[in-house]
Amino acid sequence: MVASPHTEKFAARLRMLKDRSGRGYDRLGKEAGVSGSSLHRYCSGLSVPADYRVVHAFAKVCGASAEELRELHRLWALADTDRDAPAAAAEASPKPEAEREPKPEPEPEPKSEPKSQSAPAPASESGEPAGPVPTGAIPDDVTPPETRTRRPQRFRVPERPSPRFAVLAAVVAVVLVAGFVWLPGSSSDDAAPAAGGRLLDSTACRTVSMGQHDACVREVQTLLARAKGKLAVDGDFGPETLRRVTAFQVLAGLPATNVVDDATKKALYEHKVSMTTWAPARVAKRIREVFVEDPGTAVAVARCASFLDPLYVLPNTNGSRNWGVFQISDARLQDLDGTPLRAFDPDWNIRAAHRLWSVRHDFHDWPSCEAALESTPQSTPKATAKK
């Protein structure tokens, strides 16, 4: 199995974190909640984990920073996309013997005539024959014409072009000029904004989705930023843009389709949706107020899960998603009688997470973050439960 370039970059980043931690695969696997052999396969580029939470937990126990976690998630998403692409699998698998193109058979080497036979006279520089060559007079260091390797003649522009050549050149010039006048006009219609100056309504932006990098993506990012969505405007549709697009769709009451469809384009241009939400400091404060039994661990788990971002979305390979501050899954939302829109309300999300915590008074619903925190000393002591 040949790893794709994205898989190799993803594995290289995992190896860097592993080497920096100074710990072995078995110990890291125990802390991250995965087997050491699985970690070895991931770091070797032999496979890509289907669940990003495994990657997140591994990176946390290795001491990855928030920026490193974001970059690692980007690399994982690209590697995961390569793994599911049918074209990549087709290229990686060898063709059957019957479908392989036959190798060309080598041409037989031309046989040279004996020197005793007569040969045509060599041509002079002007192209005229230099005169007959007597039989047996071919020098030993001259290859007969029929055995020479013929080279294609180079086209030479005459120093003084004939009138016919000048007319032909003029016609070619006119055709080229006409092409430059008309061709860019037809292609620019696709890239140019449609009526009303809306680029996303042009034919060039019919689809805007993950992995795309062009002016259409930049337009989407610009509109999201105008709606108070926090993301970089770089024209690259990566995991961060996907999260913001999904959050915008939910806030706009649209299906979360993972692509910028016509309904999403319309909502973006209407400027009626605001992505303004709580700052991380306010989120942490509210977590401490709700999780009075263990405020320090609760804040650490939320920071591990979402970087304290109320609009954080994490897609899973099975099609489900995790939502909000405590990354409550689709299945848990059903148990809590919630929706993705409710999950984006930081106060509801925090109180819902406390309901999950109250079942066993632990953070078993966040196994990746809980395992990562076991080896991390907490600066905030656990508070005594209020009666």
SS3 per residue for 217-272 = HHHHHHHHHHCCCCCCCCCECCHHHHHHHHHHHHHCCCCCCCCCCHHHHHHHHHCC
Tell me the per-residue pLDDT of 267-291, one tens digit each, with 9 for 90 and over: 999 999 999 999 999 999 999 999 9
The arithmetic mean of pLDDT across residues 350-377, rounded, is: 84
Tokens for 276, please give them.
Answer: 């303004």
Q: What pLDDT is attached to residue 89?
A: 47
Q: Of the spans 6-20, 74-88, 235-249, 312-326, which averages the highest pLDDT? A: 235-249
Q: What is the pLDDT of residue 108?
A: 53
pLDDT level of residue 4 (50, 70, 90 thresholds): confident
Can you give the pLDDT at residue 29? Answer: 82
DSSP conformation class of 18: H
Range 8-18 burial, b when 16+ CB lie within 10 A, else e:
ebbbebbeebb
* pLDDT of residue 212 exceeding 80: yes
Residue ranges of the chain that CATH labels 1.10.530.10: 280-374
Q: What local confidence, expressed as pLDDT, does residue 158 receive?
A: 52
| 247-269 pLDDT per residue, tens | 999 999 999 998 999 999 999 99
Overall average pLDDT of the 348-357 stretch: 97
Say which range, 56-70, 114-128, 228-242, has the weakest mean pLDDT: 114-128
Q: Which residue has the higher pLDDT, 225 or 22?
A: 225
> What average pLDDT does range 317-345 have in this prediction?
94
Mean pLDDT of all residues belonging to the chain: 77
* Lowest-pLDDT range of 50-54, 87-91, 270-274: 87-91
- Report the chain's terminal Cα–Cα distance, integer Å: 59
- Identify whether the C-beta of residue 322 lies closer than 8 Å to the C-beta of residue 310: no
pLDDT at residue 312 tops 90? yes
What is the model's pLDDT at position 319? 84
Q: What is the percentage of the chain residues whose pLDDT exceeds 70? A: 66
Predicted structure pTM score? 0.56
Is residue 343 predicted with pLDDT exceeding 50? yes
Supply the pLDDT for residue 28. 87
298 vs 175, more confident = 298
- For 5-87, CATH number out of 3.60.150.10, 3.40.50.720, 1.10.10.10, 1.10.260.40 equals 1.10.260.40
Rounded Cα gap, residues 219 and 225, in angstroms = 10
- The SS3 of residue 313 is strand
Q: Is the pLDDT of residue 337 over 50?
A: yes
**Which residue would you say has higher pLDDT here, 35 or 281?**
281
CB 31 within 8 A of CB 54: no
How large is the average pLDDT for residues 53-66? 85
Q: Around 307, how many Cα atoms within 13 Å sit in the side-chain half-sphere?
A: 14
Residue 94: pLDDT above 90? no
Q: Which pLDDT does position 242 carry in this prediction?
A: 94
What CATH number was assigned to the domain covering residues 201-270?
1.10.101.10
Q: What stretch(es) of the chain map to CATH 1.10.260.40?
A: 5-87
Rounded Cα–Cα distance for residues 67 and 74 (Å): 11
pLDDT beyond 70 at 113:
no
Report the range of poorest mean pLDDT among 21-35, 96-110, 346-360.
96-110
Could you tell me the two tokens for 365? 């619903």
**Fold topology of 280-374:** Lysozyme (1.10.530)
Rg of the chain (C-alpha set): 34
